[in-house]
């Protein structure tokens, strides 16, 4: 790391950039929209125009890649009352209703430049006017003005840089983003501006996609021409990664760090050839030196991936970054094909924000539109059986059938809930997404892929609870089903023996067929719960094994569970062993969680493993963990993330946060600074199963 990069890193981490920020009162703008009945399309454009006009060019000392936020708030374009009225009229929205969890088609936009996009807009606009396509005209006019607003800010940055004698920045901005990039430096600067503008337009959880693919030609060209060597390229990558952390505290998320700034490296190219390359390695090296939470690194691998790639990824795990998150091409690509993605697109997949799979540029999938709580389904099923049938005529097969029926009912209810979904316009992001200008339609109207993803939360708790019900009620007959349900309401009060037996029952994560066979059964029917169902945007519903924040939220909605979990205790995050479950070790965890066929539930949702940091104390620590990752891939796992933690260190950080500002943990599909998390998220991480490699 050069001294210049170290200086930028330290000052960014210390939040020096905050000195440039100011507040803007956007309330009059919203009141104007409401009073004038401004259309959604015009609001989106005017919001971006006003936001960028309010921005002031600002520079960090020593930087070569510019652009940072100087206005804290992005304008609200719709009031709560307006959105609630739409919901009352039958419209459903994903989260805030705007375009989110999206990766734009950055590569072609960087190559073409926004000037060329303006030319394409003008040509298509003339055709729409000839054809009398009013909707197309409205979209393209707003798209054009949005692009001009971005270019105006870039020009103001260029002029200010020139005024301050920052000649390199001024020269770069005289080229991009209006013209196509010619150099690696110009490409990174252009990407910074495009990504920045998306956030300013109101999109959020904006991924960066496969940067080692679309930036690779600029890297190779500079190396070949002698404009850069590897060290110079590394310095530029590191500066770009630092820039991703400057404004991230202003980005939307459930917790600090939950911002969706994900990068995908490696995997296959669109033609099926291996895509891990020199720039992939450079990105991994940059993350290892910087030790920042952004961008979150995802690494695509398969059975043929060389072990040294797994070892390179594990070096980041050793640093305690909580990434890379691994995705298995052998599982994900066929899964996407099964869901209707063309082979070339499936090979080009990335992640939306945390781990939900999407195709950059041509996917308007809402990958996390809702979730089904398996623990809530089992709780409802048990109570219904007790109420309707008592104890005398109920078998374990009846419990399974009632549980499966409840899962299906909730899945069907979500299909009905999202029968009519609207997405608010994003004219600028549409300009840098595939096909929108050609179609003369905003991306909110749909793209090539328009699928909805549904999380399945509490899988291990549900599996463990079913195994416990079978053992305690139907095999050992320690309690009746009605007695067990009553104990769930009292946290097993007066029956410590029952809770102890529940905790000792078979658990997912120990390579125990008594639990794993239940998991295989559950995953199998969950993967088929939405077969034949379509949304009103022409897409399908994609079930997954992820949880997002629902592992906290859904846990609040149910009392104790039959596995011995008490009321209010969180579920495990994503696809992972239940909290505080004694497991034999990481190999047994991998065996259990790769027993099911995971292709039908490939919306995303990683196996999350916590490895004690002592695993890396030995010289062969990296190699052993890398072999564990490869073992997971070879067994058909779909997605994996590994936390390197030390429970004692985490507790110390809770007590003395000022001494642990740099401590990073993996939360659910993203990494964050431990001391910035709310207490319940910290406690959940401390309670996770801590393994030794």
What is the structure's pLDDT at 13?
92
**How would you label 278-309 residue by residue, b for 16+ Cβ within 10 Å and e otherwise?**
ebbbbbbbbbebbebbbbbbbbbbbeebeeeb
- Identify whether 577 is part of a domain: no
What is the structure's pLDDT at 665?
86
- Identify whether 65 is part of a domain: yes
Query: Does position 693 have pLDDT exceeding 60, yes or no?
Result: no
- Decide if 284 contacts 297 (C-beta within 8 A): yes
Can the peptide bond before residue 295 be classed as cis, meaning omega within 30 degrees of 0? Answer: yes
Distances (CA, A) of 136 to 99, 139, 242: 19, 5, 39
User: Per mean pLDDT, which range of 150-164, 269-283, 572-586 is the poorest?
Assistant: 572-586
* Structural domain span for residue 79: 3-259
Q: What digits encode the pLDDT tens for the residues 457-473?
A: 999 999 999 999 999 99
Query: Does position 691 have pLDDT exceeding 70, yes or no?
Result: no
The two tokens of residue 615 are: 């695993």
Q: What digits encode the pLDDT tens for the residues 95-116?
A: 999 999 999 999 999 999 999 9
The three-state secondary structure class of 560 is coil
Instruction: Please identify which residue in the block is written with the tokens 């501006």.
Output: 193
Mean pLDDT, residues 191-210? 97
φ and ψ at residue 2, rounded to 5 degrees? -75, 165
φ and ψ at residue 368, rounded to 5 degrees? -140, 50
| Residue 669 pLDDT class (50, 70, 90 cuts) | confident
Name 262's bridge partners. Answer: 296
Total domains present in the chain: 1
- Identify whether 254 is part of a domain: yes
- Identify whether 276 is part of a domain: no
Which contacts (CB < 8 Å, 24+ apart) does range 471-478 have?
471/501, 471/505, 471/506, 472/498, 472/501, 472/502, 472/505, 472/562, 473/396, 474/395, 474/396, 476/501
Q: What digits encode the pLDDT tens for the residues 587-640?
A: 999 999 999 999 999 999 999 988 888 889 888 999 999 999 999 999 999 999
- Identify whether 37 is part of a domain: yes
- Identify whether 323 is part of a domain: no
Dist. CA 607–CA 326, nearest whole Å: 10
Task: Tell me what percent of the residues of the chain surpass a pLDDT of 90.
Answer: 86
What is the structure's pLDDT at 613?
86
3-state helix, strand, coil in the chain (%, to 5): 50, 10, 35
- Decide if 402 contacts 381 (C-beta within 8 A): yes
Query: Does position 692 have pLDDT exceeding 60, yes or no?
Result: no
Dist. CA 665–CA 323, nearest whole Å: 9
The two tokens of residue 399 are: 């419990």
The secondary structure element, H or E, covering residue 658 is: none
Task: Tell me what percent of the residues of the chain surpass a pLDDT of 70.
Answer: 99
DSSP class of 661? T
Distances (CA, A) of 478 to 375, 405, 497, 518: 22, 26, 9, 21
How many helices and strands, by DSSP H and E, does the chain display?
Answer: 29, 15
Instruction: Please identify which residue in the block is written with the tokens 């490409």.
Output: 187
- Decide if 194 contacts 110 (C-beta within 8 A): yes
DSSP class of 573? S
Instruction: Please identify which residue in the block is written with the tokens 């906290």.
Output: 552
Dist. CA 157–CA 433, nearest whole Å: 25
Distances (CA, A) of 372 to 376, 547, 555: 8, 9, 12
> What is the maximum span of the chain, computed from C-alpha positions, in angstroms?
86
**Count of C-beta atoms within a 10 Å radius of residue 404:** 17
DSSP class of 665? E
The pTM for the full model equals 0.95
Query: Does position 137 have pLDDT exceeding 70, yes or no?
Result: yes
Dist. CA 46–CA 427, nearest whole Å: 10
Query: Does position 670 have pLDDT exceeding 80, yes or no?
Result: no
Mean pLDDT, residues 257-282? 95
What is the structure's pLDDT at 41?
97
Q: What digits encode the pLDDT tens for the residues 360-407?
A: 999 999 999 999 999 999 999 999 999 999 877 899 999 999 999 999
Distances (CA, A) of 452 to 130, 329, 342, 366, 432: 36, 21, 17, 5, 22
Dist. CA 231–CA 226, nearest whole Å: 12
Q: What digits encode the pLDDT tens for the residues 57-84?
A: 999 999 999 999 999 999 999 999 999 9
What is the structure's pLDDT at 643?
87
Determine how β-strand 350-351 pairs with β-strand 204-206.
unpaired
Dist. CA 410–CA 381, nearest whole Å: 12
Scanning 445-534, the segments in alpha helix (DSSP H) are: 459-469, 481-488, 496-504, 513-526
Beta-carbon contacts of 460 under 8 Å, excluding residues fewer than 6 positions away, are 507, 508, 509, 519, 571, 572, 575, 576, 577, 578, 581
| Residue 228 pLDDT class (50, 70, 90 cuts) | very high
What is the structure's pLDDT at 617?
86
The three-state secondary structure class of 58 is coil
Distances (CA, A) of 679 to 251, 254, 653, 683: 21, 13, 11, 6
| Residue 581 pLDDT class (50, 70, 90 cuts) | confident
What is the structure's pLDDT at 689?
58
Q: At how many degrees (to 10) do helices 278-290 and 230-243 cross? A: 60
- Identify whether 204 is part of a domain: yes
**Count of C-beta atoms within a 10 Å radius of residue 453:** 28
Determine how β-strand 541-543 pairs with β-strand 452-457.
parallel
DSSP class of 256? T
User: Angle CA(538)–CA(543)–CA(544) in degrees, nearest 5?
Assistant: 135
User: In whole numbers, what is the pLDDT of the chain averaged over residues?
Assistant: 95
The two tokens of residue 628 are: 């564990």
What is the structure's pLDDT at 690?
57
- Identify whether 613 is part of a domain: no
């Amino acid at each position: 790391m050069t001294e210049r990069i170290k200086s930028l890193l330290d000052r960014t981490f210390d939040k020096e950039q905050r000195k440039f920020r100011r507040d803007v009162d956007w309330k009059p703008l919203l009141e104007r929209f409401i009073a004038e009945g401004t259309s959604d399309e015009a609001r989106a454009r005017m919001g971006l125009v006003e936001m960028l006009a309010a921005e002031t060019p600002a520079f960090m000392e020593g930087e070569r890649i510019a652009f940072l936020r100087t206005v804290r708030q992005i304008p609200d374009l719709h009031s709560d009352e307006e959105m609630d009225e739409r919901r009352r009229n039958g419209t459903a929205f994903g989260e805030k209703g705007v375009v989110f969890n999206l990766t734009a088609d950055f590569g072609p936009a960087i190559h073409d430049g926004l000037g060329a996009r303006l030319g394409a807009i003008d040509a298509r606009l003339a055709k729409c006017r000839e054809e009398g396509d009013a909707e197309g005209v409205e979209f393209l006019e707003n798209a054009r003005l949005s692009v001009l607003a971005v270019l105006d800010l870039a020009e103001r940055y260029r002029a200010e840089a020139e005024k301050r004698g920052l000649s390199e920045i001024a020269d770069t901005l005289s080229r991009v983003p209006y013209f196509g990039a010619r150099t690696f430096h110009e490409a990174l600067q252009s990407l910074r501006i495009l990504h920045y503008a998306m956030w300013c337009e109101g999109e959020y959880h904006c991924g960066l996609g496969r940067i080692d693919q679309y930036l690779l030609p600029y890297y190779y060209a500079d190396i070949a021409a002698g404009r850069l060597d590897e060290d110079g390229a590394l310095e530029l990558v590191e500066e770009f990664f630092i820039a991703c952390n400057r404004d991230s505290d202003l980005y939307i998320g459930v917790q600090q760090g939950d911002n969706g700034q994900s990068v995908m490296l490696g995997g296959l190219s669109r033609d099926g050839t291996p895509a891990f390359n020199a720039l992939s390695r450079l990105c991994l090296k940059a993350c290892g030196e910087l030790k920042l939470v952004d961008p979150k690194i995802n690494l695509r691998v398969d059975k043929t991936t060389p072990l040294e790639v797994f070892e390179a990824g594990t070096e980041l795990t050793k640093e305690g970054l909580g990434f890379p998150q691994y995705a298995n091409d052998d599982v994900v690509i066929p899964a996407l094909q099964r869901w209707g993605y063309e082979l070339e697109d499936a090979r080009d997949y990335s992640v939306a924000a945390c781990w939900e799979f999407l195709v950059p540029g041509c996917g308007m999938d809402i990958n996390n539109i809702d979730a089904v709580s398996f623990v809530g389904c089992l709780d409802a099923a048990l109570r219904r059986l007790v109420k309707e049938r008592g104890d005398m005529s109920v078998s374990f097969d009846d419990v399974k059938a009632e549980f499966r029926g409840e899962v299906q009912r909730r899945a069907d209810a979500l299909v009905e809930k999202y029968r009519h979904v609207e997405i608010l316009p994003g004219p600028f992001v549409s300009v840098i997404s595939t096909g929108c200008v050609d179609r003369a339609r905003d991306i909110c109207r749909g793209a090539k892929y328009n699928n909805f993803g549904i999380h399945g939360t509490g899988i291990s708790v549900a599996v463990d609870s079913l195994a416990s019900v079978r053992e305690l009620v139907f095999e050992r007959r320690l309690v009746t089903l009605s007695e067990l349900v009553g104990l769930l309401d009292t946290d097993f009060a007066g029956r410590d023996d029952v809770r102890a037996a529940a905790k000792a029952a078979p658990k997912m994560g120990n390579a125990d067929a008594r639990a794993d066979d239940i998991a295989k059964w559950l995953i199998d029917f969950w993967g088929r719960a939405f077969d034949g169902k379509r949304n009103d945007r022409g897409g399908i519903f994609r079930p997954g094994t992820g949880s997002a924040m629902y592992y906290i939220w859904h846990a609040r909605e149910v009392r104790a569970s039959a596995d011995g979990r008490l009321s209010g205790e969180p579920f495990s995050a994503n696809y992972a062993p239940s909290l505080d479950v004694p497991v034999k070790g990481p190999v047994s965890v991998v065996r259990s969680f790769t027993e099911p066929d995971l292709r039908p539930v490939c919306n995303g949702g990683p196996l999350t493993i916590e490895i004690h940091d002592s695993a890396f104390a030995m010289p062969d620590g990296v190699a052993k963990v890398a072999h564990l990752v490869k073992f997971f891939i070879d067994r058909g796992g779909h997605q994996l993330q590994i936390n390197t933690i030390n429970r004692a260190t985490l507790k110390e950080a809770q007590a003395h946060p000022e001494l642990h500002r740099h401590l990073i943990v993996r939360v659910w599909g993203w990494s964050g600074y431990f001391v910035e998390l709310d207490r319940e998220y910290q406690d959940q991480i401390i309670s996770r199963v801590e393994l030794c490699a």
